[in-house]
Amino acid sequence: MSVFKTILYPTDFSDLAEVAKNYVLKLKEANAEKVIILHVIHPMEFSLPQFDDPFALDVAAIYAHIPEIEKAILDRHQEKLQQLKHEFERAGFKVETVMTVGDPKEEIVKTSEEKNCNLIVIGYHGKGLLERILEIGSTAKAVIRKAKCPVLVVKKEERE
Amino acid sequence: MSVFKTILYPTDFSDLAEVAKNYVLKLKEANAEKVIILHVIHPMEFSLPQFDDPFALDVAAIYAHIPEIEKAILDRHQEKLQQLKHEFERAGFKVETVMTVGDPKEEIVKTSEEKNCNLIVIGYHGKGLLERILEIGSTAKAVIRKAKCPVLVVKKEERE
């Protein structure tokens, strides 16, 4: 059994997630088999009416309640997930896409367990006082702390 | 070129380092080629006479200045490194062992750069209030922050 049978690749479609994506693609040579592409929607990103627990909503419920202009954003996210799916498929991976609603770090850890992932690959800024003050990278840190499976941290300054 | 051409495996010979070792061994199936086994001696572990900068000492200088009973400890460390070397060689890796003096996190990052490592594999306790209070895992966290190459974090509770 491949040590990288199922890799979880969480993406917020940022430049840093792109760095992590390129690394996951390289893991094909390391006999990686399947990638689960996860995008987590934070309910606060959208203009939702008042809900007791917006984190309990699913993607369809969010879609049903947001204004048209934000539906276009969500549609674009779905498209980006599909583009990523095709990119990984072309590289020879089996691919599953998952879109969930919630707190990114919690959803990443939960998905890694539900899908029996062998590895989570995440990008990390690392240096920079500003980033440390703004707590960029706190999702990465929380995932490292909470995940049961190994976590591969890819740096933006990564050496090729 | 293998994505895991040269892996840095730092060890303090703890149970956690053992977990990381078992993971590095599994990376052979992922086409890993070479492992650099690093053990960092913190000068404060030994009864050294007063030096202006004990961190500037090398292993030979430490060996020359410590009492006989502590020389036996250092000899044992060397033996453990050799045992690890043989274990990785039996698994098909090219192996280099490195023993340095200094602060573990600094030496890990420095060695990863000097040896052009493609990956650092470290163990991490993760959970546990006690561990968080005692800052166990702070070496892992500092390495993740400072290393230029990707860092693979293996958890003690790792799923097989």
Closest CA to B117 of B10, B15, B14, B11: B10
* A71 and chain B in contact, CB less than 8 A: no
**Position A79 in a domain:** yes
Interface pTM (ipTM) of the complex?
Answer: 0.87
* B27 and chain A in contact, CB less than 8 A: yes
A155/B141 CB distance under 8 A? no
* B156 and chain A in contact, CB less than 8 A: no
Higher pLDDT: A47 or B111? It is B111
Residue from the list A147, A148, A153 with its beta carbon closest to the beta carbon of B150:
A153
Whether B31 shows a pLDDT value over 50: the answer reads yes
How many percent of chain A have pLDDT more than 70?
Answer: 89
Strands A151-155 and B151-155: antiparallel
Q: What is the DSSP string of B39-102?
A: EEEPGGGS-PPP-S-GGG--HHHHHHHS-HHHHHHHHHHHHHHHHHHHHHHHTT-EEEEEEEES
Split at pLDDT 50, 70, 90, the class of A159 is very low
B4/A148 CB distance under 8 A? no
**Which residues face A110 on adjacent strands?**
none
Tokens 């890993």 found at: B32
* Cβ–Cβ pairs < 8 A, chains A and B: 84
Q: Which two tokens stand for residue B140?
A: 């892992």
pLDDT single digits (tens) B80-96: 999 999 999 999 999 99
pLDDT of residue A43: 85
Sheet holding A6-10, edge to edge: A94-101, A34-41, A6-10, A119-124, A151-155, B151-155, B119-124, B6-10, B34-41, B94-101
**Position B152 in a domain:** no
pLDDT of residue B160: 41
pLDDT of residue B57: 87
**Position A145 in a domain:** no
Q: What is the CATH number of the domain that holds B123?
A: 3.40.50.620
* A68 and chain B in contact, CB less than 8 A: no
Residue pair B97/B81 in contact (Cβ under 8 Å)? The answer is: yes
pLDDT of residue B76: 94
**Position B145 in a domain:** no
Chosen from B3, B16, B114 to mutate, greatest number of chain A CBs within 10 A: B3
Whether A136 shows a pLDDT value over 70: the answer reads no
Whether B54 shows a pLDDT value over 90: the answer reads no
Closest CA to A32 of A4, A70, A12: A4
**Position B76 in a domain:** yes
Residue pair A144/A119 in contact (Cβ under 8 Å)? The answer is: no
Split at pLDDT 50, 70, 90, the class of B150 is very high
pTM, entire model: 0.90
Whether A30 shows a pLDDT value over 80: the answer reads yes
**Position A30 in a domain:** yes
Higher pLDDT: B128 or B3? It is B3
Closest CA to A32 of B29, B154, B23: B29
pLDDT of residue A87: 98
> Number of folded domains in chain B?
1
* Count of other CB atoms within 10 angstroms of residue B2: 16
pLDDT of residue A157: 62
pLDDT of residue A93: 98
Nearest Cα of chain A lies from the Cα of B26 at a distance, in angstroms, of 7
**What is the domain extent for residue B79?**
6-128
**Position B80 in a domain:** yes
Nearest Cα of chain A lies from the Cα of B23 at a distance, in angstroms, of 9
pLDDT of residue B11: 96
Split at pLDDT 50, 70, 90, the class of B127 is low
Closest CA to B38 of B11, B65, B67, B73: B11
